[in-house]
Amino acid sequence: MFDDDKDIHLSLDEAREELRIRWNDNNLRNKIETEIGSYFWPEFKNGPRGLIWKPIITPDNSFDLFIKLAEYIGTKPLAFEFLGSMYLSINEEKRNLGQLRINYDDKNTMNLIDLHKWNKKKMSDIIIKTGGSLVDFHHSLLKKIDCSIEPIDKTGWTEKIGKPSDWYYYFLLHFVAHGIWFENIEPYNEDGSEHPFIKDVTNPTIQKIKEKFGLNPLIVRLYPLNQSEEENFYWWSYPKNVNDWIVKYAKENNLTFKKVDLK
Amino acid sequence: MYEPIKIHISHDEARAELKKRWNNAELKSAIEKELGENFMPQFAERPRGVSFRQVITPDNGLPLFFQGAKYVGTDPLVLEFHDDMFVSFNEDKKGMGRLRVTLEDGAKATVDIMDFHANEKKKLGECVLKTGENMIDFHYKLMEVSGYDPEIFDNSKWLERFGRATAYYYPFFLHFVAHGVLFENVESYEEGDSGSPMIRDVTTPAIQKIEGKFGIRPLVVRMYPQDQTEEEDFFWWDHPKNVNEYIIEYAKKNDFIIKPC
């Protein structure tokens, strides 16, 4: 767990107040920028930012929440993606990019890609069943919602540094004084076991930042803890306008729905 | 002696606390008994997240409320008050007829879709726009454009049972002790000064009465941030992109003046 056994996530009001203090501390910001050096994201230079970081940006309900939470906190919302990452059908977040959760009469899934064929392939290489790129499909969904955000692919940035365990320090430093990261960092899996990446990478990185700057990075939850299955489905599914468009698209292209039975 | 009290809690606190209270059958039953026939049936079957607005409109606060209500584990419900009176000196009410928009170049502007003088002191449900259409129908049309579909209910009859506004705060807040979460900013509670007369004389005593009787406070989550810049204030009055575009088209079609701020 984290250094003082306190939840790393802040409430909206805590994050808003703390970021305002830290952003106005020029000395702190300069120190952070010096530490990050050439790995500093230029998008974080001119004002406080709220960041969502996903393999591919898609406007599901948690993204819709993110946009307004970022505004609440007083930040400009930014969406970074990692198109060079590998599609893994066992990873729920990645699987859902190819297997959409759709409300149509009832709760359904709809396979946009051949999950088996594209397993372990690069996100940016994946072609959907109708022929276009998976990335383009999700980006086209962004046009259906209240969003002027243009996703920025940070694959090059990660490759410049190396392994996730190497770039994570520079990644998290951006949230000490320049912005808020919207993400859920849950140290334990559902079965009670410790999450290896959090144990081996996230926690030591946060400790390192705390020791060096005396501060934690600012992180706000993107979806609630302890969700019911219905809630879990909700946060992966889409706002009504987007959902309706996907249903129409699926029907026009003979993509099939599969009913989901939630316990 | 008036003492401001802290009332707002975070989304995570509201979620955890509501789960406990909703599952406390004894507490829920005590609240329902206290409310008697004034218990709103919308709260009987499932926990509700409530925004209380005279008339719903899909400004930028609406998605935050809608998704925030889902986050705390509730089903979003908008309670309206169509029988309330339109008075243009009230900023919230005037905002129903003076819409904030963002132009293509990012400039901020307002559009007056209503003759304020002609509608002064009319019931909100009877207010008409310059085009002749009913004001509430117009805002409902904006809701359709937005795509957000919370349950919407005109709660005028319930509110009118109590006569004056001073009488309904206690039963209203009781619904948020164990049955739901209210999304609202009740700033003066925390100002440290004497607050507005309404806050000092009505809302604070209503909350204190609940606390005295049940030992806990209603669950209230902020609807907007505190200490906003002018730009932020405009943002929360302004609308999501698709609604904003609809309003600008509507203004152009009807030759309404789009006035830069």
Q: Which residues are A102's β-sheet partners?
A: A108
Confidence category of residue B2, pLDDT binned at 50, 70, 90:
low
Could you give the angle at which helices B135-146 and B241-253 cross, rounded to 10 degrees? Answer: 140
- pLDDT, residue A147, reads 74
* Whether residue B190 has pLDDT greater than 80: no
- Pick among B51, B67, B142, B241 to test the A interface (most A CBs inside 10 A): B67
Under 8 Å between Cβ of B177 and B219: yes
Which residue of chain A has the CA closest to B241?
A146
Nearest chain A CA: its distance from B222 CA (Å): 9
For the stretch A128-187, pLDDT in tens is 999 999 999 999 999 887 677 899 999 999 999 999 889 999 999 999 999 999 999 987
Chain A residues contacting B, CB < 8 Å? 9, 11-14, 16, 61, 64-65, 67-69, 71-74, 145-148, 221, 223-225, 228, 231, 234, 239-241, 244
Instruction: Tell me the average pLDDT across A227-234.
Output: 94
Does pLDDT of B192 surpass 60? no
pLDDT digits (tens, 9 = 90+) for B23-33: 999 999 999 99
Closest partner CB to A231 (pick from B10, B73, B222): B73
Are B148 and A239 a contacting pair at CB < 8 A? yes
pLDDT of residue B194: 53
Contact A255, A111 (CB under 8 A): yes
- Asked if residue A4 is part of any domain, the answer here is no
User: Is it the case that residue A2 has pLDDT exceeding 50?
Assistant: no
- Looking at the structure of chain A, the number of domains it has is 1
**What 3-state class would DSSP assign to A129?**
coil
Lowest model confidence (mean pLDDT) among A3-12, A204-213, A240-249, B12-21: A3-12
Tokens of B150: 């919370």
Assess whether pLDDT exceeds 90 at residue B102: yes
Residue of B nearest to A68 (CA): B64
Contact at CB, B60 and A71, closer than 8 angstroms = yes
Q: Is B223:B59 a contact under the CB 8 Å cutoff?
A: no
Question: Please, what's the largest Cα pairwise distance for chain B?
Answer: 59
Does the pLDDT of residue A104 top 90, yes or no? yes
Does the residue A2 lie in any domain? Answer: no
pLDDT-derived band at A195 (thresholds 50, 70, 90) equals confident
Residue B4 confidence (pLDDT) above 70? no
Q: Mean pLDDT over residues A27-36, rounded?
A: 98
More confident residue, A183 or B188: A183
Return the closest-CA partner of residue A225 out of A187, A261, A198.
A187
Q: In chain A, what residues touch B247 (CB-CB under 8 Å)?
A: none
Tens of pLDDT, residues A56-93: 999 999 999 999 999 999 999 999 999 999 999 888 89
SS3 content of chain B, % helix, strand, coil (to 5): 50, 15, 35
Q: State the DSSP string of A143-202.
A: TTSS--PPPEE-HHHHHHH-SHHHHHHHHHHHHHHSEEEE----SB-TTSPBPHHIIIII
* Mean pLDDT of all residues belonging to chain B: 92
Q: For residue A102, tell me if it sits in a domain.
A: yes
Q: Going by C-beta distance under 8 Å and a sequence separation of 6 or more, which residues neighbour residue A36?
A: A170, A173, A174
- State how far the Cα of A130 lies from the Cα of B222, in Å rounded to an integer: 44
CA B144/CA A244 separation, integer angstroms: 13
Domain assignment present for residue A1? The answer is no
pLDDT single digits (tens) A246-262:
999 999 999 999 999 88
Domain containing A182: what range? 12-259
Cα B95 to Cα B114: distance, rounded to the nearest angstrom: 10
Residue A191 has what pLDDT? Answer: 74
Looking at the domain assignment, is residue A83 inside a domain?
Answer: yes
Residue A247, min C-alpha distance to chain B (Å): 15
Measured N-to-C along each axis, helices A12-23 and A164-177 cross at an angle, to the nearest 10 degrees, of 80
pLDDT, average across residues A2-14:
77
- Indicate whether B191 pLDDT > 70: no
| pLDDT of the residue at B189 | 46
Would you tell me how many other CB atoms lie within 10 Å of the CB of residue B91? 9
ipTM over cut 0.85: yes
Work out the pLDDT band at B151, boundaries 50, 70, 90. Answer: very high
Q: Return the higher-pLDDT residue of A258 and A194.
A: A258
| Two tokens, residue B11 | 């989304």
**Which residue in B186, B217, B163 sits closest to B21, CA to CA?**
B217
Q: How far apart are the first and last CA of chain A?
A: 31
A58, A113 Cβ separation under 8 angstroms: no
Q: How far, in Å, CA of B106 to CA of A15, rounded?
A: 27
A236 confidence band (pLDDT: 50, 70, 90): very high
Model confidence at B52, in pLDDT bands (50, 70, 90)?
very high
- Within 8 A by CB and 6+ apart from B247, the residues are B99, B101, B111, B142, B239
Between these two residues, A7 and B173, which has the higher pLDDT value? Answer: B173
Task: Kindly state whether B95 is in contact with chain A, defined as any CB-CB distance less than 8 angstroms.
Answer: no
Across A58-94, b (16+ Cβ under 10 Å) vs e yields bbbbbbbbbbbbbbbbbbbbbbbbbbbbebebeeeeb
Closest residue by Cα to residue A259 from A92, A99, A109 = A109
What is the Cα–Cα distance from A185 to A178, expressed in whole angstroms? 19
Query: If you measure CA to CA, which chain A residue comes closest to B229?
Result: A74
Query: Under DSSP, is residue A132 helix (H, G, I), strand (E, B) or coil?
Result: coil
Amino acid letter at B48? Answer: R
Residue type, A76: K
Average pLDDT over residues A207-217: 97
Q: Give pLDDT, residue B200.
A: 77
Domain contains A181: yes
Nearest to A177 by CA among A4, A58, A9, A25: A25
